[in-house]
Amino acid sequence: MNDAPLKVAWKKVSAYCEESKLWKKDHALAMGYYNFQDFLRDLVGLFDTITKIDEDWRWQVLRHETPYEEAVAESIRKLYESWHEACAAPVGMLPLFESRFGRVENAEELLVRWREAQGILTPDEEFFTGDALAGLRDKATDEHRSGEAFDVGRSR
């Protein structure tokens, strides 16, 4: 028997086996990309839920519908902190997915909320340094004196 056809067949089968492994790897990565986008969407929604809880509670306190309780404020702060920690890995993985696939849905929304959480979690004394706060005060005073500022609720 001429073994040339057998050799050709083995060569082709081997090549397809290798290609199949690569395809499975690429397919798994692509599916991970779609799952990652869904995960980011869920993280965005969770942040929005935490923010709604925070805002509703603070409005109730301001309207004297419920008393201010440090334990509630701390619990909400810890929610933001835990959310922020849960986002560390996905935020770190964004460059990988962007370099491989381009635009990642929900990434920008997540990053906006990530930065907002950082601001919420940053203590006021670190956020507003004396000079920066004084500069903002001076700018606001100058705008008021020049007539550029306006009262809340009144349009220019």
pLDDT, tens digit (0-9, with 9 covering 90-100), for 96-110: 899 989 999 999 999
Question: 25 is written with which tokens?
Answer: 């790897």
Q: What is the CA 90 to chain-centroid distance, rounded? A: 8
pLDDT, tens digit (0-9, with 9 covering 90-100), for 114-156: 999 999 998 877 666 667 677 777 888 888 788 776 554 444 3
Q: What is the pLDDT of residue 13?
A: 72
pTM of the entire structure? 0.68
- Cβ contacts of 83 within 8 Å, gap of 6 or more: 43, 46, 47, 50, 117
Q: What is the pLDDT of residue 16?
A: 66
Dmax over CA atoms of the chain, in Å, equals 102
Q: Give the Å distances, CA to CA, from 138 to 114, 132, 133, 141, 147.
A: 30, 10, 9, 5, 14
Q: What is the pLDDT of residue 28?
A: 74
